[in-house]
Amino acid sequence: MPKLERLPEPNIYQAYGIYLLESKHRLIRRLKKAHQPSVHGHKTWNASFLLMDYLQHEPLARKVRVLEAGCGWGPGAIYCASRFKAKVTAVDIDSEVFPFLEVLAELNDVKVTPLVSRFEKLSTKQLGKFDVVVGSDICFWDSMVKPLYRLINRAMKAGVKRVVITDPGRPTFYGLCDLCRKKYDVNLQEWYATEPNHVTGEVVDIRRE
């Protein structure tokens, strides 16, 4: 029986095969009374839907090991765990986002391992445990460009096969892509998602040359 039939409540919606909660949902409102994410981790961002749509067209292998960087509420992580049966770790600097991720993971009957860390603290050894790194709208400040570039370098050195990042099209994101072009096979393209609404942006798929 579909989950929504078991949960006939308002403020639940579906996108790309997973269920998500709007900010007005009773569980989210209750969580917000106890947890206040501080680094833009207060909702599901549109770039997450770009990531899901892109991976529908350029899918991951089943049971792949995935790291979602800057996960927020973790919709990308939950999608990968649900769609590809991936073993997923979700990383964010802000521990306050993980109660929201836990609720969404339970709603979708998947397991996602939480990890509190800055990008700079993710070591080559840690990154070597993953096959793919994904992220959505994680390069929104100038100060994040070089830490993300170094993260990608360590990931590639560790044996990560792909890094896929989606973005609404910020100058900082394009700056990151330009840096990566100097060392890697970079496929940057415009993209759009159709669920739950039509949104547009950019996706970069980075691989070792």
pLDDT at 34: 67
Task: Compute and round to an integer the Cα radius of gyration of the chain.
Answer: 16
pLDDT at 31: 77
Taking the chain (209 residues) in runs of 10, the rounded mean pLDDT of each run is 52 92 82 68 80 98 97 95 98 93 94 96 97 95 95 97 97 97 97 96 93
pLDDT at 39: 53
Residue extents of the structural domains in the chain: 3-207
Query: 136: Cβ–Cβ under 8 A, 6 or more apart, which residues?
Result: 45, 47, 48, 50, 51, 70, 72, 75, 76, 165, 166, 167
Q: Which residues pair with 132 in a beta bridge?
A: 66, 162
Angle at 208 between CA 129 and CA 125, to 5 degrees: 25
What pTM, to 2 d.p., does this model score?
0.90
Residues in the chain: 209
Domain 3-207 coded CATH 3.40.50.150? yes
pLDDT at 29: 82
